[in-house]
Amino acid sequence: MIDFFFWTTPNGQKVMICLEETGLPYRLNTVNISKGEQLQADFLEISPNNKIPAIRDNDSADGAPLTVFESGAILFYLAEKSGTLLPLKARGRVAAMEWVFWQVGGLGPMAGQNHHFAHYAPEKIPYAIQRYVTETGRLYGVLDKRLAAREFILGEYSIADIAAYPWVFDYGRQGQDLDDFPNVKRWFQAISARPAVRRAREQADAVNIAPNVNDQSRAVLFGQGAARSAARAS
Ligand SMILES: N[C@@H](CCC(=O)N[C@@H](CS)C(=O)NCC(=O)O)C(=O)O
């Protein structure tokens, strides 16, 4: 059994989809990041960067519980454990690394800042909003080009698609129009129709339908800073 530490965000959704696709048995543990549950000591033992998602595999290969934080690392771990969603040959594996790293280092952080400045920041800063809407659009364009000659990012459906999909899910909130990216649109519709993806969405909606952003959650999520990290560590 895998313990899955989850909240209903795109990064949490990636791992939820992956678990549903692989069929690996798991137990859902919610970590309400708006209330600061990611800062509790037992969670920090598993995820020292105080972020979801994280997992603990209680049936790891060597028999001892194995914890994994960072969504990209978790996707690779689950794909390898299940023997699915990852190409077997070296070239395909390299492409999987390229596109999962592209998502965790590019699409995720840029779309995340896009959400932040457009929807969560207490003041509207036009330059910041424009900067991240433009960069998100550029990344959609990169994905669109990649998908022009392929059904999915690596050809076959894989963890590269699972990594990117939840970050495209909110395209409207990111100031993007999928009609500008026809290959992304086709890809998005194909993934949205997958039963595992639907199950993952239903589970997320059952946990938390409305995003909970208020002054208190803003203080928890956006007021951490180095001083708080140091205080926690001591
Ligand atoms: N690079 C990390 C990012 C994870 C992340 O940003 N998680 C957010 C939710 S999507 C979180 O837990 N935030 C809580 C916090 O910052 O305190 C990953 O890919 O796993």
pTM for the full predicted model: 0.94
| Whole-number pLDDT of residue 226 | 72
pLDDT at residue 227 is higher than 80: no
Pocket test for ligand 1, best of 14, 44, 51 (most atoms within 8 A of CB): 51
Alpha carbon 134 to chain centroid distance? 21
- Residue located nearest, by CA, to atom 14 of ligand 1: 51
Do residues 126 and 74 share a domain? no
| Whole-number pLDDT of residue 214 | 78
Q: Tell me which residue range forms the domain holding 120.
A: 90-193
**Is residue 233 a part of any domain in this protein?**
no
Alpha helical stretches, state H, the chain: 10-22, 41-46, 71-82, 90-102, 108-115, 126-146, 159-168, 182-192, 195-207, 215-222, 225-233
The proportion of the chain whose per-residue pLDDT surpasses 90, expressed as a percent, equals: 88
pLDDT at residue 230 is higher than 60: no
Do residues 95 and 185 share a domain? yes
Distance (angstroms) between ligand 1 centre and the Cα of 218 equals 14
Tens digit of each residue's pLDDT (9 = 90 or more) over 51-74:
999 999 999 999 999 999 999 999
Rounded CA gap, 36 and 218, in Å? 10
Edge-to-edge strand list for the sheet holding 54-57: 26-30, 2-6, 54-57, 66-69
Do residues 17 and 111 share a domain? no
Do residues 145 and 130 share a domain? yes
pLDDT bracket for residue 27 (50, 70, 90):
very high
- Residue located nearest, by CA, to atom 8 of ligand 1: 51
Do residues 7 and 99 share a domain? no
Say if CB 157 and CB 85 are below 8 A apart: yes
Do residues 96 and 188 share a domain? yes
pLDDT bracket for residue 212 (50, 70, 90):
low
Structural domains of the chain, count: 2
Angle at 34 between CA 29 and CA 36, to 5 degrees: 75
Does ligand 1 come within 6 angstroms of the Cβ of 70?
yes
Rounded CA gap, 78 and 177, in Å? 32
**Is residue 34 a part of any domain in this protein?**
yes
Distance (angstroms) between ligand 1 centre and the Cα of 127 equals 24
**Is residue 40 a part of any domain in this protein?**
yes
pLDDT at residue 231 is higher than 60: no
What's the CATH code of the domain at 32?
3.40.30.10
Do residues 189 and 119 share a domain? yes
Distances (CA, A) of 175 to 4, 106, 127: 31, 17, 14
| Whole-number pLDDT of residue 232 | 58
pLDDT at residue 117 is higher than 50: yes
- Name which of 178, 170, 174 is nearest 10 in CA terms: 170
- Residue located nearest, by CA, to atom 2 of ligand 1: 70
**Tokens 């659009």, residue located:** 137
Do residues 74 and 135 share a domain? no
What's the CATH code of the domain at 143?
1.20.1050.10
**Is residue 37 a part of any domain in this protein?**
yes
Do residues 159 and 216 share a domain? no
